[in-house]
Chain A
Amino acid sequence: MTRVNLVLLAVLVACALSLVTSRHQARKLTTELTRAQALARAYEEDFGRLTLEQSTWATPARVDKLAREQKMQSPPSPRVVVVELPEAQR
């Protein structure tokens, strides 16, 4: 009888200890999760900022202005435009 009790006591102690460890683990993981979520949000914000930057640099108005200023390109005259018709319309 005493033996059984001792075994049960040992099991109880083990359970209690594992509860403590898992609580601790849970807290550590939560902290990590929160940090990861904050990071995700930061990346999302970065993404927004970069998209904004990209679309600001790439506005047709700006591209048009630069192309004209640097005399690199101008709208093609109809004479130099080559149109490839889809198979059906040839």
Chain B
Amino acid sequence: MRAATAARGATAQLAPPGARAGVVFGALILLFAGLAARALYLQWVNNEFLQGQGQARYSRDIEVPAHRGRILDRHGEALAISTPVKSLWAFPDRLEISPRELRELARVLETNPAALERRIAAAEDFVYIAKLVPPEVAERALALRIKGLHEETTYGRYYPAGEVAAHIIGFTGTRDAGQEGIELAQQAWLGGHAGSRRVIINRRGDVVEDVASIRAPQAGRDLALSIDSRLQHLAFRELKAAVEAHRAKAGGLVVLDVGTGEILALANYPTFNPNRRDGRLAPERMRNRALTDVFEPGSTMKPFTVAAALEAGSVRPDTMIATAGGSLTLSGRTIRDAHASGNLTVEQVVQKSSNVGTAKIALGLPAERMWRTLSDAGFGAAPRTGYPGEVSGRLRAAQSWKPIEQATISYGHGISANLVQLARAYTIFATDGELKPATLFKATGAVAGRPVIKPETARTLRRMLELAAQPGGTAPKAQVGGYRVAGKTGTAHKLEGRAYANKYVSSFVGFAPVSNPRIVVAVMIDEPSAGQYYGGAVAAPVFSNVTGGALRLLGVPSDAPSDSAILPADAVEIGEET
């Protein structure tokens, strides 16, 4: 009783009953207000953390792959193509593989087990068991269920034409980026950019909602080259045969379309296989000699000298040039003809490839005038075909020419050019005096050229060059059955250091059919060393085979009887040494 009274007294002392409820109520309100404030704070003020955590659980950024564009030839045949491939990899210390499984794996990957074992043992913390294998192979390898063996998907680049067109197309390096040739030059056009999009996934990992596209994928674009695969193969086959038969160091061959200046074929030998590169390729094999190397063209320059003289009016085709004796001495140096003959007309100078005759014709011209014609024909300037690293060759300014230099330049020494430049320069004779722009990309119609010489001069030179490629000229072996051909040989001594060595560059540049030229073909064989070295014996037969085959493949109507090629067995070959 007493205690109860005391308790009642105590409460009564603390607060009246109504006030007590009020306190409790107030405390609760305060707590709720605190909660609400915290909720507001998390919702509006400091919301990054929770939102980030939430998104990490259901939102994903996925990469949308974009593949590299294809490189096609002029008819749409693939020359370079990207396709997904797999690589198998493992951490060696986590790879559990029994000897039996190792044998099985080696069988699937078509290698030998010992090599595979060495490869795994040699690696420190990561090893590619197999790089860039077809998806089926990777699937079979994974089907062996070897613990610790993983796969990764990448794009592999393949070149169906292989070594035949390797120099033009080049290849890609790591991360699918162009490293050589057109692959490098056209990286921006060909390269794809992977896109990315943000999605919401469900518990099973399926995409249930597309939230946003962060970056649209941009697939690489296809690129059509001017190359014709069939002509390219023909050119490569013939060039390879010739380089091997003459035990030459190297060779190059260019086929140009006269109407558009497109490069229909560009072959180099030696070559490499772009599909099998293991980083130990000799650089000589990878050089695109026809575009990145210069050589002294030798006699193939003579028609340009004669054209300059005809344009200047200093000679006519039937003007006699005093070439008798076969030598000409200028400031202590003597120019010789390989085979001395009597006096020759200008026409015969080209036909028989007389150095003395050409030099005399050149000396009757102002240096400036000759330089202008050579420069207009594209010498001394890069041909700008769209290939990286092409060279411009050397054509010194006319003011610095001494008479002896003007004489040697007239027959192609003391001047240098690459094979494409030379082939392109011949378009002025194949057309009515227009220089066509050489290009590696497919043109969409006829391309206008730049006039360099008068149409009459071009016609005159066509006749002279046709004579040179007939019995009595330097290159009867250039003839093609069924077609009239015209062209000029070159047999240039090679410069070694500062002196001319007894090594040669044999060349032939010509076009066909003469009645309405369609193609220019230029052949260059570097250091033939199987006995013969005259351009007429080494390069002209290659020209004949390639031109004959190319005209047939292009369906060009013939302009001569099919037995037009006259090659009497006892024909005396006319030699030349420039």
Is B109 an interface residue, CB under 8 A from the partner? no
Bound together, the chains give a CA A36 to CA B162 distance in angstroms of: 35
Count of chain A residues near B, Cβ 8 A = 30
Chain A residues in 8 Å Cβ range of B164: 59-61
Chain B residues in 8 Å Cβ range of A56: 158, 160
* Pairwise interchain contact B562-A79, C-beta atoms closer than 8 A: yes
* Pairwise interchain contact A55-B78, C-beta atoms closer than 8 A: yes
> Which residues from 203 to 234 on chain B have a C-beta closer than 8 Å to any C-beta of chain A?
206-210, 229-230, 232-234
B387 to chain A, nearest CB (A): 22
Q: Given A27-B209, A48-B81, A81-B552, A64–B237 Cβ distance below 8 Å?
A: yes
Chain A residues in 8 Å Cβ range of B555: 83
Q: Given A30-B207, A34-B207, A51-B78, A78–B233 Cβ distance below 8 Å?
A: no
Chain A residues in 8 Å Cβ range of B237: 61, 64
Count of chain B residues near A, Cβ 8 A = 39
A71 to chain B, nearest CB (A): 18
B267 to chain A, nearest CB (A): 12
> Which residues from 22 to 71 on chain A have a C-beta closer than 8 Å to any C-beta of chain B?
26-27, 30-31, 33-34, 41, 44-45, 48-49, 51-52, 55-56, 58-61, 64
Chain A residues in 8 Å Cβ range of B208: 27, 30-31
Over the window 139-165 of chain B, the binary record of Cβ atoms lying under 8 Å from chain A Cβ atoms (1 yes, 0 no) is 000000000000000000010111010
Is A85 an interface residue, CB under 8 A from the partner? yes
* Pairwise interchain contact B210-A30, C-beta atoms closer than 8 A: yes
* Pairwise interchain contact B557-A31, C-beta atoms closer than 8 A: no
Is B481 an interface residue, CB under 8 A from the partner? yes
Is B364 an interface residue, CB under 8 A from the partner? no
Chain A residues in 8 Å Cβ range of B482: 78, 81
Bound together, the chains give a CA A31 to CA B202 distance in angstroms of: 10
Chain A residues in 8 Å Cβ range of B412: none
* Pairwise interchain contact A52-B81, C-beta atoms closer than 8 A: yes
Chain A residues in 8 Å Cβ range of B549: 75
Is A2 an interface residue, CB under 8 A from the partner? no
Is A89 an interface residue, CB under 8 A from the partner? yes
* Pairwise interchain contact A31-B207, C-beta atoms closer than 8 A: yes
Bound together, the chains give a CA A34 to CA B164 distance in angstroms of: 41
Central interface residue in A52, A60, A83, by most chain B CB within 10 Å = A60
A62 to chain B, nearest CB (A): 10
Bound together, the chains give a CA A61 to CA B558 distance in angstroms of: 26
Is B65 an interface residue, CB under 8 A from the partner? yes
* Pairwise interchain contact B557-A78, C-beta atoms closer than 8 A: no
Bound together, the chains give a CA A76 to CA B562 distance in angstroms of: 12
B191 to chain A, nearest CB (A): 16
A33 to chain B, nearest CB (A): 8
Bound together, the chains give a CA A30 to CA B78 distance in angstroms of: 35
Is B563 an interface residue, CB under 8 A from the partner? yes
Is B11 an interface residue, CB under 8 A from the partner? no
Bound together, the chains give a CA A81 to CA B84 distance in angstroms of: 44
Is B82 an interface residue, CB under 8 A from the partner? yes
Chain B residues in 8 Å Cβ range of A33: 210
A86 to chain B, nearest CB (A): 8
B200 to chain A, nearest CB (A): 9
* Pairwise interchain contact A78-B65, C-beta atoms closer than 8 A: no
Is B473 an interface residue, CB under 8 A from the partner? no
Is B548 an interface residue, CB under 8 A from the partner? yes
Chain A residues in 8 Å Cβ range of B229: 59-60
* Pairwise interchain contact A55-B209, C-beta atoms closer than 8 A: no
- A41, A59, A77: the one contacting B162 at CB < 8 Å is A59
B303 to chain A, nearest CB (A): 27
* Pairwise interchain contact B230-A83, C-beta atoms closer than 8 A: no
* Pairwise interchain contact A78-B562, C-beta atoms closer than 8 A: yes
A53 to chain B, nearest CB (A): 9
A75 to chain B, nearest CB (A): 7
A47 to chain B, nearest CB (A): 9
* Pairwise interchain contact A52-B230, C-beta atoms closer than 8 A: no
- A55, A61, A86: the one contacting B81 at CB < 8 Å is A55
Chain B residues in 8 Å Cβ range of A58: 77
B154 to chain A, nearest CB (A): 12
> Which residues from 351 to 368 on chain B have a C-beta closer than 8 Å to any C-beta of chain A?
none
Given contacts A30-B209, A78-B558, 17 further A-B contacts (CB under 8 A): A26-B209, A27-B208, A27-B209, A41-B65, A48-B84, A51-B81, A52-B78, A52-B158, A52-B160, A55-B81, A56-B158, A60-B230, A61-B236, A61-B237, A79-B563, A83-B555, A83-B557
Q: Which residue numbers of A lie inside 8 Å of B, CB to CB?
A: 26-27, 30-31, 33-34, 41, 44-45, 48-49, 51-52, 55-56, 58-61, 64, 75-79, 81, 83, 85-86, 89
Q: Which residue numbers of B lie inside 8 Å of A, CB to CB?
A: 65, 67, 70, 77-78, 81-84, 158, 160-162, 164, 199, 202, 206-210, 229-230, 232-234, 236-237, 480-482, 548-549, 552, 555, 557-558, 562-563
A sample of 22 inter-chain contacts (CB < 8 A) reads: A27-B202, A30-B207, A30-B208, A31-B207, A48-B83, A51-B70, A52-B78, A52-B81, A58-B77, A59-B229, A60-B230, A60-B234, A61-B162, A61-B233, A61-B236, A64-B237, A75-B552, A78-B548, A78-B563, A79-B481, A79-B563, A83-B557
User: Which 10 A-B residue pairs are closest in the complex by CB-CB distance?
Assistant: A60-B233, A78-B481, A78-B562, A55-B160, A78-B482, A27-B208, A34-B207, A48-B83, A55-B78, A56-B160
